Amino acid sequence: MASSSSSSSSSSSSSFLMVSLLAVVLIGVASASNMYNDFDITWGDGRGKVLNNGELLTLSLDKTSGSGFKSKNEYLFGKIDMQLKLVAGNSAGTVTAYYLSSQGATWDEIDFEFLGNLSGDPYTVHTNVFSQGKGNREQQFHLWFDPTADFHTYSILWNLHGIIFSVDNIPIREFKNSESIGVLFPKNQPMRIYSSLWNADDWATRGGLIKTDWTNAPFTASYENFNADACVISSGTSSCGSTSNNEKYWLSQELDSTSQEKVTWVQKNYMIYNYCTDTKRFPQGLPKECTI
């Protein structure tokens, strides 16, 4: 502060510079995702790690244990993006679950689950939606890329119109709010983000056909660039309640016709299971939301 004794104009311009610099630093900190700020490792006895000053989070699984984390915040609607790089090589039997969930016996849940496979065979992306404890709305997909070679963005857009699952900004599934025909929709219970890497070789590999090969352990899944444009609930108050919601495009976003075409493309080429067409499973008739 050598300038403080010289003219007042140079003093005010240097303090202006200081304030500007401070603003740049604060904005930089606020926009870069930091895993330390957003998540807590919840289990796994050291198998879950935050690395690179918070830029990266990894979960691992070995014969003794898997691991998991959860978000510090609870959300009620928003667009939530995470980049994941899944377990590479022979990952058969491993499941990386990444989901939103509320608590209690009548919980709501929005799921991505990534089912590993033998080297070279495709991962299965499993999706589901629970309303008040009731799920049974599975759709499963293969991917159009190798999800273990690089990070890819997996997104959940959740608002009163519906839930859209996307991969690299390509929507793969839309679960519409069908309350008008009596289908429960998750809209009242704040949810946290959870993720875990665990052994599910009793069911994940087509009913336990292939067992996890522990000679490949530890298995590792990685996470980075988390972003939540979302309503955060704290002490019962929503961060969306106080300010104007006009810029919050994600509160009203639905699929436009271009996005609808993308969903159709994914479902035609990469969908491997759809509860809405499983007439054997629902002999009394398909769930109501499937009929519209």
Shortest reach from residue 216's CB to ligand NAG, in Å: 16
Q: In the bound complex, what is the minimum distance in angstroms from residue 112's beta carbon to ligand NAG?
A: 14
Q: Which is nearer to ligand NAG, 115 or 228 (CB)?
A: 115
113 is catalytic: yes
Active site residue 174: no
Indicate whether 204 belongs to the interface with ligand NAG (CB under 6 A): yes
181 secondary structure, DSSP code: G
Query: At CB < 8 A and 24+ separation, what contacts does 117-122 make?
Result: 117/91, 117/92, 117/205, 118/90, 118/92, 118/210, 119/89, 119/90, 121/92
Nearer to ligand NAG, 250 or 275 (CB): 275
Among 166, 205, 212, 220, binds ligand NAG (CB under 6 A): 205
Asked whether position 82 contacts ligand NAG by CB under 6 A, the answer is no
- Of 62 and 121, nearer to ligand NAG (C-beta) is 121
Q: Is 117 in the site for ligand NAG (CB under 6 A)?
A: yes
Q: Which one-letter amino acid corresponds to residue 152?
A: H
**If binding is defined by CB under 6 A, does position 211 make contact with ligand NAG?**
no
Considering the complex, state which of residue 69 and residue 141 has its C-beta at the smaller distance from ligand NAG. 141
The amino acid occupying position 255 is L
Residue 87 within binding range of ligand NAG, rule CB under 6 A = no
Q: Give per-residue burial for 53-90: e unless 16+ CB within 10 Å, then b.
A: ebebbbbbbeeebbbbbbbebbbbbbbbbbbbbbbbeb
Residue-wise burial string across 262-286, b where 16 or more C-beta atoms lie within 10 A, e elsewhere: ebeebeeebbeeebeeeeeeeeeee
Among residue numbers 238 through 277, which ones bind ligand NAG (CB under 6 A)? 272
Return the residue nearest ligand NAG (CB atom): 121
Among the candidate windows 2-10, 31-39, 115-123, 227-235, which touches ligand NAG by CB under 6 A? 115-123
**Phi/psi at 87 (nearest 5 deg)?**
-55, 125
Pairing state between β 170-176 and 162-167: antiparallel
Per CB under 6 A, 60 contacts ligand NAG: no
Looking up tokens 């667009």 gives 79
Query: For residues 26 and 272, which CB has a smaller minimum distance to ligand NAG in the complex?
Result: 272
Backbone region of residue 176 per phi and psi (left: phi > 0; alpha: psi in -120 to 50; beta: other values): beta
Active site residue ranges = 109, 113
